[in-house]
Copies of this chain bind each other. A is one copy, B any other.
């Protein structure tokens, strides 16, 4: 219970960003009143675990919730209001109006500091049939539970996944894992659109090897059925299905913020400074509804990932509490497991680098995961991109059966530090025959690039 006259903070959204912010504020301001408005039933949920929950690797949805609302209420004195959907902000009077989605009752909350961590919404493509039974998006714990419950109660022999981004590929694996035949439909010319084509080709190969039917360059045009979905009509013919997972991306939930006069940036997400402050005094934004500064393009980017939400939420919380913190920005790192492959990226692709005004050169090499004479070495692939003029490293993508994700982190650190290709070659990296080669793969790629740059 807040003391009379204490500073009040309202946090909109109880995901990674919102709860990171609330927890930081509590830590720095033991006496402030903190209210979190969350429209769903859970807070501090881990959406990136949902594909593994659907696959059955995570037995129970509770495992995807770091702390319960009760934990925050009792242990951190944070007034967590689940099934409370914030509907509007009155910035002049510092009020947030929320509706209890169970009772329908409306309630108004005063704030001295506001943190908007409203998250993202799944993009719904403009095709008929999205409301049929058996058509899902994966954007919340309850949407994951709905899919798992559907799989448990219905015979799902054939499933279609629309969209071959990260979630689409993870869900293709999950649905194969529960025994379905899976067709992956992607409007663009390759899986993992926006990635390096050479890496996407290896992922494509793995998907087919695992029995996924990959249909790239095909547009899903309609979902058809009799109450329940039965067919997907694409630009290249139709297919029979029992379940459809739509994963064509997410967009930042910014409508309420925009209506309150909070600036939305060029990416369509809320614009902030490095303290995560918006243009409206005492209003902060963080997570999947907010932009992030890209350290390579020096432009705002929209990258809705949990790692970024955690960091931005922490900074927004410290800032809202009156402390000093800055979000350094992102370099564009992401990782993915798809069947027996690890895929990871950091920085810009060659195409993105060109678009951003660099003069990119690249090297693509295969290298062994450890000394070839030690048992168990596997082939990994890396593409390293640098600026031809300056030699600055711009990005890397990697793919292989193991240790890829943690290897990309070395390049992510190098990008953060604005290293050159020569710096990568000079790095003093760890080596022993069971887990590395004396020159790491990225160093071999750097040497290849140095030879090109010297020519």
Contact = CB atoms under 8 A, between A and B. Distances in A.
Given A413-B413, A417-B413, A405 B423 contact: no
Interface residues of A, number: 65
The winner among A329, A374, A375 for most chain B CB atoms within 10 A is A374
Interface string A418-455: 01000101111111111110111000000000000000
Contacts of A331: 428
B435 A405 contact: yes
A306 B438 contact: yes
Nearest to A375: B57
Contacts of A408: 430
A132 B335 CA distance: 55
Interface in A386-404: 403
A438 B415 CA distance: 19
A409 B335 contact: no
Contact of A435 (B330, B337, B417): B337
A334 B438 CA distance: 11
A410 interface: yes
Interface stretch (A46-54, A117-125, A142-150): A46-54
Contacts of A413: 410, 413-414, 417, 419, 427, 429
Nearest to A442: B409
A346 interface: yes
A412 interface: yes
A311 interface: yes
Contact of A431 (B307, B328, B416, B430): B307
Nearest to A336: B432
B426 A328 contact: yes
A406 B432 contact: no
A439 B345 CA distance: 17
A335 B416 contact: no
Contacts of A310: 438-439
Interface in A326-356: 327-337, 342, 344-346
Nearest to A48: B433
A16 interface: yes
Contacts of A311: 425-426
A49 B305 CA distance: 41
Given A375-B57, A410-B413, A307 B429 contact: yes
A64 B373 contact: yes
Given A49-B371, A49-B374, A406-B407, A344 B430 contact: yes
A49 B439 contact: no
A308 interface: yes
A233 interface: no
A280 interface: no
Contact of A332 (B64, B305, B415, B428): B428
A416 B409 contact: no
Contacts of A346: 428, 430
B405 A436 contact: yes
Given A335-B432, A413-B413, A416-B423, 8 more contacts: A307-B428, A405-B432, A406-B435, A406-B436, A409-B430, A413-B429, A415-B428, A416-B426
